[in-house]
């Protein structure tokens, strides 16, 4: 059982997020038939809730109407979709086995996670599964649910938040909009609604980063490596956490409390009134801002990562032939385009690019790989 306090920022929605499975809570919260927490309080204001959740739970059976809702399809199923479900044994296997087969399909086939996917037009699910194979969490969750429903397994898309940033100053979890996520839920007999995250099945080397490091490498500027600039970033993060804790504690111990508690809190800080407190906080913010500005402007720094520097030299060699990485273009896509333009160097380009992906994004790489990568780039000589 997890017991926690949730401080919700103002919103235009009435739903409240919490850990699974929210079991104990008080008014103005209620739980609807979709197991969402809904508040009857004004969502335009900050609100504080105390909730208890059970991480192990079983939602139980669902009725015929709910099964129909969770298996309905937007239209006729195409031959390509039917063949895919049949190839993954979705029509005859147990649901658990079919789920494993489908997750393995996303993992082993050429699917990519990216925040800048191609635009999908007619038949978006089919186009995603068989053509573009690029998308973010909503693409994968929607496609997964659709393929479950084709196999007559109740499924639905669920949105919420995954993870958060631990504020070490105040010892609380800061959950921002950047942690928004979409996943899938399937209904299984004896287990109820079970969460499945198909996005997590994507292989690490096929995840295109939110910060496009490949594009920065091609331009010769990489600015987020361990150096003096990183020290400034750490300072900025620490300052943000410090201010976040001030804001959090202010809301909990001042705004949410009566006059007596407010006075006690301010007195403990040696402050007699709110006006003095505002002056003190303004001066503190100004001091932190000045310090951060000095750190950020003192020395922007450059990368010292040998893998990045070596790949940068490789990109510069290709740039001499007119091959420049496009915005949003990953290392593997760039290699494909380079091989098409320089067919005589196709093997070398492919080998170098795969080594870069392994060294930079993979978890298992050694000195031998780095030495081979460095030698191949040094020997690489492209002639257009």
What tens digit of pLDDT does each residue of 259-295 get? 555 666 666 666 666 667 677 778 878 888 888 777 6
Domain assignment of residue 217, yes or no:
no
Asked whether residue 73 falls in the same domain as residue 200, the answer is: yes
With 80 as the cut, is the pLDDT of residue 353 above it?
yes
Q: What is the mean pLDDT of the chain?
A: 83
Asked whether residue 167 falls in the same domain as residue 269, the answer is: no
Question: What integer is the mean pLDDT of 110-136?
Answer: 92
Catalytic annotation present for 315: no
> If you search the block for the tokens 């990109």, which residue do you land on?
315
Among 105, 139, 197, 360, which one carries the catalytic annotation?
A: 197
Residue 226: pLDDT band with limits 50, 70, 90: very low
- Those residues whose C-beta lies under 8 Å from the C-beta of residue 201, and which sit 6 or more positions away, are 103, 104, 106, 107, 140
Asked whether residue 84 falls in the same domain as residue 126, the answer is: yes
With 50 as the cut, is the pLDDT of residue 210 above it?
no
Percentage of the chain lying above the pLDDT 90 cut: 39
| CATH code for the domain of 148 | 3.10.620.30
Q: Rounded CA gap, 154 and 188, in Å?
A: 8
Domain assignment of residue 105, yes or no:
yes
Q: How far is CA 129 from CA 77, 213, 328, in A?
A: 14, 27, 20
Domain carrying residue 38 = 2-53
Among 105, 137, 139, 382, which one carries the catalytic annotation?
A: 137
Asked whether residue 274 falls in the same domain as residue 342, the answer is: no
Assigned token pair, 241: 């956490």
> Which H or E run contains 2?
strand 2-8
Asked whether residue 75 falls in the same domain as residue 195, the answer is: yes
Residue 147: pLDDT band with limits 50, 70, 90: very high
Judge whether 174 and 161 are in contact, CB under 8 Å: no
Judge whether 109 and 101 are in contact, CB under 8 Å: no
Asked whether residue 244 falls in the same domain as residue 185, the answer is: no
Question: What integer is the mean pLDDT of 348-377?
Answer: 85
Condensed to tens digits (0 to 9), the pLDDT of residues 51-89 reads: 999 888 898 999 999 999 999 999 999 999 999 999 999
Asked whether residue 31 falls in the same domain as residue 117, the answer is: no
Asked whether residue 153 falls in the same domain as residue 31, the answer is: no
Judge whether 196 and 183 are in contact, CB under 8 Å: yes
Residue 212: pLDDT band with limits 50, 70, 90: very low
Q: Rounded CA gap, 135 and 140, in Å?
A: 7
Domain assignment of residue 274, yes or no:
yes
Asked whether residue 82 falls in the same domain as residue 108, the answer is: yes
Query: What is the model's pLDDT at position 265?
Result: 60
Asked whether residue 292 falls in the same domain as residue 310, the answer is: no
Asked whether residue 194 falls in the same domain as residue 98, the answer is: yes
**Gyration radius (Cα) of the chain, Å:** 26
Residue 211: pLDDT band with limits 50, 70, 90: very low
Domain assignment of residue 117, yes or no:
yes
Asked whether residue 47 falls in the same domain as residue 83, the answer is: no
Q: List helix spans (H) across the chain.
A: 64-71, 79-87, 95-108, 124-127, 137-150, 213-219, 228-250, 259-268, 274-298, 306-319, 331-341, 346-361, 367-379
Query: What is the model's pLDDT at position 308?
Result: 86
Among 89, 174, 181, 351, which one carries the catalytic annotation?
A: 181
Catalytic annotation present for 382: no
Question: What integer is the mean pLDDT of 308-312?
Answer: 89
With 70 as the cut, is the pLDDT of residue 256 above it?
no
Overall pTM > 0.85: no
Condensed to tens digits (0 to 9), the pLDDT of residues 88-104 reads: 999 999 999 999 999 99
Q: Give me the number of domains the chain comprises.
A: 4
Say how many residues make up the chain. Answer: 384
């Amino acid at each position: 059982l997890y017991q926690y306090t949730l401080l919700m920022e103002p919103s235009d929605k009435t739903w409240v997020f919490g850990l699974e499975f929210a079991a104990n809570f008080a008014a103005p919260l209620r739980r609807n038939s979709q197991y969402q927490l809904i508040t009857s309080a004004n969502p335009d204001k900050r609100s504080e809730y105390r909730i208890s959740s059970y991480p192990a739970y079983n939602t139980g059976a669902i009725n015929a109407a709910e099964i129909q809702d969770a298996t309905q399809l937007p239209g006729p199923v195409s031959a390509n979709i039917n063949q895919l479900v049949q190839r993954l044994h979705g029509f005859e296997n147990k649901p658990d086995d079919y789920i494993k087969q489908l997750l393995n399909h996303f993992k082993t086939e050429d699917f990519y996670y990216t925040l800048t996917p191609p635009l999908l037009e007619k038949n978006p699910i089919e186009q995603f599964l068989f053509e573009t194979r690029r998308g973010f969490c909503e693409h994968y969750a929607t496609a997964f649910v659709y393929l479950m429903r084709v196999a007559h397994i109740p499924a639905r898309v669920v949105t919420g938040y995954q993870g958060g940033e631990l504020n070490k100053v105040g010892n609380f979890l800061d959950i921002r909009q950047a942690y928004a996520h979409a996943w899938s839920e399937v209904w299984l007999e004896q287990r109820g609604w079970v969460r499945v995250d198909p996005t997590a099945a994507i292989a690490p080397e096929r995840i295109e980063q939110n910060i496009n490091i490949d594009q920065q490498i091609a331009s010769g500027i990489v600015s987020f490596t361990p150096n003096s600039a990183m020290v400034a970033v750490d300072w900025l993060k620490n300052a943000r956490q410090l201010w976040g804790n001030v804001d959090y504690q202010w809301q909990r111990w001042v705004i949410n409390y009566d006059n007596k508690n407010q006075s006690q809190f301010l007195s403990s800080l040696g402050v007699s009134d709110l006006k003095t407190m505002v002056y003190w906080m303004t001066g503190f913010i100004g001091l932190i801002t000045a310090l951060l500005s000095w750190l950020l402007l003192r020395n922007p720094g450059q990368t010292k990562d040998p893998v990045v520097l070596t790949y940068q030299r490789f990109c510069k060699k290709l740039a001499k032939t007119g091959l420049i990485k496009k915005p949003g273009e990953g290392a593997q896509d760039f290699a494909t385009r380079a091989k098409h333009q320089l067919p005589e160097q196709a093997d070398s380009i492919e080998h170098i690019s795969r080594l870069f992906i392994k060294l930079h994004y993979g978890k298992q790489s050694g000195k031998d790989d780095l030495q081979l990568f460095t030698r191949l780039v040094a020997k690489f000589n492209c002639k257009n």
